[in-house]
Structure 1
Amino acid sequence: MSHATATEEAVGFQGTALAESISAVLTRLSLDDMGAKAQEMAINDLIDMTGLCVAARNTDYIASLIEGWDGEGACTAIGHSRPLDAAGAALINGTATHGEDFDDTLEGAPIRVGAMVLPAVLAATERFHRSGEDALRGMIAGMEMVCRFNHVVPGAIHKAGFHPVGIIGALGATAGAGVALGLDARQLTLAFGISGSFASGIGEFLTEGAWTKRIHPGWAAQSGYRAALLGRSGYFGPRTVFEGARNIFKVFGRDAKPNYEPLLKGLGEEWLMEKIAFKPYACGTMIHPFIDCMIRFREEGIAPERIVSIECETGEGLVDRLWEPLAVKHRPPSGYAAKFSMPFCMAVGYFDGDAGLEQFTDAKAKDERILALAGKIRYVIDPNNEYPRNYSGHIKVTLDDGRVVEYRQPHFRGGAREPLTRDELVAKARGNVAYGGLSPQFADDLLRFCLDLRECPDMGMLGRFRA
């Protein structure tokens, strides 16, 4: 009898908890059970994620993170020469994936998905030389659980001042690493209980555009990896982590009433992760339709000096993070803070016809042409806006001759209504590898690894992608 089992019996461990039911389903699923579409989505996310890791390799926040991590090992932070322990690799890859705000999202109940799960799975499977098939199973299981956990108290974690990526992400990373490492149902149940105590991430980064937002998915990834190992060893975690008196949703969602139906309904048969969306622009997802409107307006060739004002109909749920305080959003203090400024993103889209990595440097954030136009942009709340079920955009431009030009974008490009193709994701990944300073050959090899993941005999092959 293991130590955990003895302890469980001593305290009268009886009945079936949600963590046990979830674990029972996840641990018995084969890759074929998960279906072709779920596998395709996981590979798409892996392509996107690995390119983003390279794109961030020369940034100051990644350099600082690597310098501050003292763990040594044989695992890979993609695009970096120094081998790390598995937790360090998960941390660096997760932070890099999310660092430029160019990673995936889930429509309807917004959260990042791959940035927490994929780095945990890659680290676990590289460290223990599992197969690519194991990795793919873990990726799908973990991303699916992020999607499902995020529907339990939608919006409440943000409202309470926490960053859901760091809370929900730790649970999803635990599912991913646990399934990839072959944990049984009891071990995964213990791991879920442990990961609830590892979850963290406050929203104070919004005040100054601090780097802490970037680290939340990386910390969740390494937490999920560690929770999986502890669950495998029999460390006793609470099985009632999801529904007990002090459960994770109650603690981080405060007064929200959890809806547990999404956790088990259709689990193993229906895949919410098939609806993951990918970003064409390197900024807040809800801003994208507004950027599309500005780029369409740009095509009219009207000089910025002729623009008197721009009014945008917006959802109330966007105001706190993307519009206010409006004076700060008109003049964001850094390129990173500019990614969460609706006026700046729209203005840079007008001038550059894009909102990629090159558009969010500190130099761009000080460009007076861009700031002058951003200062003319205001919002009004549209009570009929569909956010968060749908992301739409609107601009009403008043010109100096009194003419009014209006544009609408009905949905988010990259989402369910207009998804990015595999070819578009490959092109994005190639561009990100080039932005990170590595060669087309490196990009070719990395893409081939992602596309052939299921056939990989040993995930130790990730070591080829140090640079």
Structure 2
Amino acid sequence: MTYAAQIADWAAGLRFTDIPEVVITDEKLRVLDILGVALAASTLPASAPVRTAALRLGTGEESRMWGYGDRTTAATAAMVNGSLAHALDYDDTHNESVVHISGPVVTTGLTLGEALRAGGKTVLTAIVAGAELGCRIGRVVPGEFHKRGFHATGVMGAFAASVVAGKLLGLNAHQLRNALGIAGSQASGLLEGFRDGSAVKQLHPGWAAHAGIIAAYLAQDGFTGPATVFEGRDGLYNSHVGSGDHPAGRMTEGLGREWTCLHTSFKPYPCGHVVHGFLDALMALYREAGLRAGQVEKITCPTAEWMIPIMCEPRALKLKPETDYHAKFSFYFTMAAALIDGRLGVEAFTEANIRNPELLALAEKIHCIPDPDAPGTGHFKGWVQVDTTDGRRLERVVDDNWGSLANPMTPDQVQTKFRDNVGLALEKARIPNIIEGALHLDTSHDVSALIGLCIA
């Protein structure tokens, strides 16, 4: 059997009762988290073009755009909702594959689930299947998509979303295999937006969700895609990463026994995830050593070489970000903003802040150097060395970023993040009901009730 056939066979057969309780509990928190970051993003002016463009694509009544409430087709609404989920860059990341997996799978699950009036257990089963397989497809070549300029979320997200949509539509294993093959021709997303801070990257999970639904619809009606979409001569790995002996067996190794999706990190900071370990280390020095911005002579950060092109280079552009989204992928800006404010929240990325002379001067004092002994993509390590103006040397190492499986955010901390985000979009009286709905999603007979709570 080809790899697409193997994973389609597993996904088609997966039942809610097959999934360990720890995975279900984790996924319900991720549903809550994605709803929160998407609702917060619905208040951003930068999100408006996605909504207005979606409305021009055509009409429909089956699904709603979160926050806005506009009704349209499931695929179009999923494009909007997935884009909202990533607009603040506050959505989770599967460390090893460096994929923002919950953005495309949760938005596909809830948006198509609303159209189908699906129950919570059905939707959660589909989301888990998509998340698990999306992470596994990405971990075959960890970090390699980024090295070649592809946004792994856009690429892997399309495959993952096709599984979610296929499960919800009741596709059999053969149809699911075709959906994966079709998704492969839509799996896309370039990282060039890192260079100038343009908005396109936030569209990638939304486009992946849209692509996944389209692929599943086509497969349901008999359209076909290549069975060798992953390992074939012109399949995913050879076309996107380069010809070679890629360990595609990692897709199916331990499938159904080991749950790779649990190694997905929640985000405590709304910025590029690879800087989070460094932010953790810097905030520890802020709290425990009393470090303040005015005391800094120089900050040196030994950094994994694979992280440097994402957050640190070109240095001249990263030191003076052009937009708020550009600032989220500046190692120097995010670290400086965190040290000045003693935290890094949504409010850090304002027009005033990205032009703040004090913040930009502090950013100039921060330097990344290669760390040849840094771990691979499975661990977002942070290492901060601070030389102070009074001659001291302060240092802190964080081996695993806060929010990861090894250094987790607690459920209460995830809920606090949700409250802060949703408070930007909805009246606070609704917040407890949304939390209750998400954390008890498996008892819901129709997920559209939860979506109804998320309309401004």
TM-score norm. by structure 2 comes to 0.95
The answer to whether residue 373 in structure 2 is matched with residue 384 in structure 1 is yes
CA-CA distance at 1:99 after TM superposition:
0.9
CA separation in 1, counterparts of 2:224 and 2:322? Answer: 46
Match of 2:60, SS? strand
Match of 2:368, SS? strand
Contact 2:99/2:138 (<8 A) preserved: yes
The answer to whether residue 8 in structure 2 is matched with residue 20 in structure 1 is no
CA separation in 1, counterparts of 2:408 and 2:295? Answer: 35
1:273-352 correspondence to structure 2 within 5 Å: 273-299=261-287, 300-301=289-290, 304-352=293-341
Amino acid at match of 2:22: K
Match of 2:405, SS? coil
Contact 1:26/1:268 (<8 A) preserved: no
Q: Deviations over 1:126-152 (max 9, x none)?
A: 112222111011000000011100012
CA separation in 2, counterparts of 1:266 and 1:405? Answer: 43
Q: 2:59 aligns with which of 60, 66, 72?
A: 72
Amino acid at match of 2:59: E
CA separation in 1, counterparts of 2:377 and 2:48? Answer: 35
The answer to whether residue 204 in structure 2 is matched with residue 219 in structure 1 is no
Match of 2:372, SS? coil
Aligned to 1:197: 185
CA-CA distance at 1:294 after TM superposition:
2.3
Contact 2:39/2:454 (<8 A) preserved: no
1:44-443 correspondence to structure 2 within 5 Å: 44-69=29-54, 70=56, 71-74=58-61, 75-299=63-287, 300-301=289-290, 304-436=293-425, 438-443=426-431
CA separation in 2, counterparts of 1:308 and 1:244? Answer: 53
Amino acid at match of 2:48: A
Q: Deviations over 1:79-121 (max 9, x none)?
A: 1121121112111111111111111011233211100111111
Bigger mean CA deviation after superposition, 241-250 or 183-192: 241-250
Contact 1:294/1:347 (<8 A) preserved: no
Go from structure 1 to structure 2 and tell me whether the alpha carbon gap of 1:306 and 1:129 turns closer, same or farther (over 3 Å shift): closer
CA separation in 1, counterparts of 2:182 and 2:96? Answer: 28
CA separation in 2, counterparts of 1:336 and 1:177? Answer: 30
CA-CA distance at 1:444 after TM superposition:
1.9
1:31-42 correspondence to structure 2 within 5 Å: 31-42=16-27
Q: Deviations over 1:251-306 (max 9, x none)?
A: 11123532111222222222111221101111111211212232233344455344
CA-CA distance at 1:61 after TM superposition:
2.4
Contact 1:79/1:465 (<8 A) preserved: yes
CA separation in 2, counterparts of 1:384 and 1:17? Answer: 36
CA-CA distance at 1:225 after TM superposition:
0.9
Aligned to 1:12: none
CA separation in 2, counterparts of 1:432 and 1:464? Answer: 15
CA-CA distance at 1:205 after TM superposition:
0.4
Q: Deviations over 1:214-244 (max 9, x none)?
A: 0001000111011111111111222221222
CA-CA distance at 1:430 after TM superposition:
0.9
Match of 1:245, SS? coil
Bigger mean CA deviation after superposition, 81-90 or 404-413: 404-413
Aligned to 1:5: none
Amino acid at match of 1:18: Y
Aligned to 1:455: 443
Alignment size in residue pairs: 451
CA-CA distance at 1:356 after TM superposition:
1.2
Which runs of 5 or more residues in structure 2 are unaligned? none
TM-score norm. by structure 1 comes to 0.93
Contact 2:147/2:306 (<8 A) preserved: no
Amino acid at match of 1:136: L
Amino acid at match of 1:146: G
Contact 1:56/1:99 (<8 A) preserved: yes
Q: Deviations over 1:5-45 (max 9, x none)?
A: xxxxxxxxxxx322222111111121010111111121011
Go from structure 1 to structure 2 and tell me whether the alpha carbon gap of 1:310 and 1:223 turns closer, same or farther (over 3 Å shift): same
Bigger mean CA deviation after superposition, 76-85 or 42-51: 76-85
Amino acid at match of 1:354: R
Match of 1:102, SS? coil
Task: Report the aligned-residue RMSD.
Answer: 1.6
Go from structure 1 to structure 2 and tell me whether the alpha carbon gap of 1:129 and 1:306 turns closer, same or farther (over 3 Å shift): closer
Match of 2:394, SS? strand
Q: Deviations over 1:298-351 (max 9, x none)?
A: 344455344221111111111111111112222212221111111111111111
CA separation in 2, counterparts of 1:309 and 1:402? Answer: 11
CA separation in 2, counterparts of 1:35 and 1:301? Answer: 43
Amino acid at match of 2:391: G
Contact 1:297/1:350 (<8 A) preserved: no
Go from structure 1 to structure 2 and tell me whether the alpha carbon gap of 1:400 and 1:130 turns closer, same or farther (over 3 Å shift): closer
Bigger mean CA deviation after superposition, 368-377 or 323-332: 323-332
Amino acid at match of 1:249: Y
Amino acid at match of 2:95: E
Match of 2:185, SS? helix
Match of 1:457, SS? coil
